[in-house]
Amino acid sequence: MLFGLHWDTSHGELAFAVSILPMLLIGMWVTIEASILGFFVAMVIGLGLAVLKGARLRIVRWPAMFVTEFIRDTPLLVQLFFLYYVLPDYGIVLPAFLTGALALGIQYSAYMSEVYRAGIEAVDHGQIEAAKALDLPGRRTFTHIVLPQAVPRVVPALGNYMVSIMKDVPVLSVVTVLEMLNVAKIIGDQTFDYLVPLSMVGGLYMILTLIASGIVRWVDVKLPKRGLALR
Amino acid sequence: MSEPIIRFDKVEKSFGAFNVLKDLDFEVAKGEKVTIIGPSGSGKSTVLRILMTLEDVTSGVVYVGGQPLWHEKKGERLVPASEAHLRKMRTQLGMVFQSFNLFPHMTVLRNLTEAPRVVLGLSKVAAKERADELLELVGLTEHAHKFPNQLSGGQQQRVGIARALAMRPKVMLFDEPTSALDPELVGEVLNVIRHLAEAHDLTMLMVTHEMRFAREISDRVCFFDQGRIREQGTPDEIFGNPKEKRTQQFLRAVTEAD
């Protein structure tokens, strides 16, 4: 029994599969939530890191570069353990799910900051010169001239990270998050049938990532290539 | 003559080992229309870019409206300008770029209202009124809600001119405004600039390869060569009777290409 649902082990594989599907779907929902939350955390922190790494002052730029490098060069699992087991020592106690999503977000923020950086640097320098000639303040130039042109260009690359994040969610099972793989493993542990639940996880994952890629492609097509005008 | 609106005092500019401007003394009077001609690499665009604060000076002082542009007075001494000083000085100048540099994600109207609203603090209505006037001036009223990529090059450059004018600058800088245009689109842009040249109080400084146009609208033509003004004078003097051998060579070369 899991989530108050029962599995059917006495009417063949198909009946078993049908009976555990709702449980896996509950797990899948957790996977989706963790991916989306992690993705948004990564988008925000990644942009922050990208901005800091582009700063003129070295004392701002260097720490941001160091943090990015540090995050990229350490395994997600280490970061996850750190957040989950060390932070409570400092009075910060987060639920496993939030810790996991945060760890995913931080890990991917490092990668995304590089994507943002590339997008920002790809904006024609003439745009910045024109803004300067019009005496627009630097911050306004960044938020209203550079970023709106950079973001549409980096959407496909950011979207690919969304798929990667999804595929990394099973790592959260080590801190007890009941995402899809963890659910399948519990079912296997209790029914001694791993083949069916694990195969189903594989299939569900494929459907999930295909849909996610489809959404990314749709957003990419919908976004005006010239950039987004902000009010 | 009263205090010149632009004055270069022994200005040097180098990029690494390359000296773009050498010991340049150069003045422009208020309301004067000056054209800079010369071979590429002669430093002519750099003069405009220094004025627009897109490039700093290596040494020497540039004055705009009697005030140092790249420096600030600290007691008796001149120290490098702060960003606040540069921002204040910039409002006196407007620039039209060779590659237009319109904001591609904004409509024509928004291109024209963005800076007046943000920098000058104009209300939405006032900024739009100003933009409408300027669009009429450049003949693009019906294109206000289009995006730059929906316009021809000539139309885009006319928007570029209107956008610079929307800040009501005292000095307009034109950096090869027609060089990126197809030949048949050059005329419409030159017509707009010609129209502006009729305004007496607007100071205009233009780098161009359109020799006939330069001759027609300029009060003075400066021939730049190797970071210096090799020769300057009225259009008739420079085009009709150039004294320097380098000027003669250059003019012969460009008119042959015409």
Q: What's the gap in Å between the CA of B36 and the closest CA on chain A?
A: 20
pLDDT over 80 at B189, yes or no: yes
Q: Is A176 inside any structural domain?
A: yes
pLDDT over 70 at B1, yes or no: no
Q: Is A4 inside any structural domain?
A: no
Please write the tens of the pLDDT for every residue from B139-177: 999 999 999 999 999 999 999 999 999 999 999 999 999
Residues of A with Cβ-Cβ distance to B106 under 8 angstroms: 229
> What secondary structure letter does DSSP report for A228?
P
pLDDT over 70 at B134, yes or no: yes
How many other CB atoms are found less than 10 A from the CB of residue A200? 21
Q: Is A38 inside any structural domain?
A: yes
pLDDT over 80 at B23, yes or no: yes
Best residue of B92, B101, B117, B161 to probe chain A, by most A CBs closer than 10 Å: B101
Instruction: Give pLDDT < 70 ranges for chain A.
Output: 230-231
Residues of B with Cβ-Cβ distance to A132 under 8 angstroms: 52-54, 90
How many domains does the structure of chain A reveal?
A: 1
Domain that holds residue A116: 9-222
Q: Is A100 inside any structural domain?
A: yes
Inform me whether the C-beta atom of residue A148 falls under 8 Å from chain B C-beta atoms: yes
Mean pLDDT of B18-32: 92
Q: Is A63 inside any structural domain?
A: yes
Structural contact between residues B194 and B206, judged by C-beta atoms closer than 8 angstroms: no
Residues of B with Cβ-Cβ distance to A133 under 8 angstroms: 52, 54, 90, 93-95, 97, 164
User: For chain B, what percent of residues have pLDDT higher than 90?
Assistant: 79
ipTM above 0.95, yes or no: no
Nearest Cα to Cα of residue B114 among A145, A151, A146: A145
Report how far residue A100's alpha carbon sits from residue A35's, in angstroms, rounded to the nearest whole number.
10
| The pLDDT value given to residue B71 | 92
Classify A74 as helix, strand or coil.
coil
Q: What's the gap in Å between the CA of B235 and the closest CA on chain A?
A: 29
Q: Is A203 inside any structural domain?
A: yes
- β-strand partners of B107: none
Please write the tens of the pLDDT for every residue from B107-125: 999 999 999 999 999 999 9
| The pLDDT value given to residue A230 | 66
| The pLDDT value given to residue A99 | 94
Residues of B with Cβ-Cβ distance to A140 under 8 angstroms: 118
Please write the tens of the pLDDT for every residue from A2-45: 888 888 888 888 999 999 999 999 999 999 999 999 999 999 99
Q: Which residues contact B247 (CB under 8 A, 6 or more apart)?
A: B223, B225, B230, B231, B238
Q: Read off the CATH number of the domain in which A13 is found.
A: 1.10.3720.10
pLDDT over 90 at B89, yes or no: yes
| The pLDDT value given to residue B258 | 58
| The pLDDT value given to residue B27 | 93
Q: Is A229 inside any structural domain?
A: no
Window 51-70 of B: residues touching A by CB (8 A cutoff) are: 52-54
A149–B101 C-beta distance less than 8 A: no
Q: Is A24 inside any structural domain?
A: yes
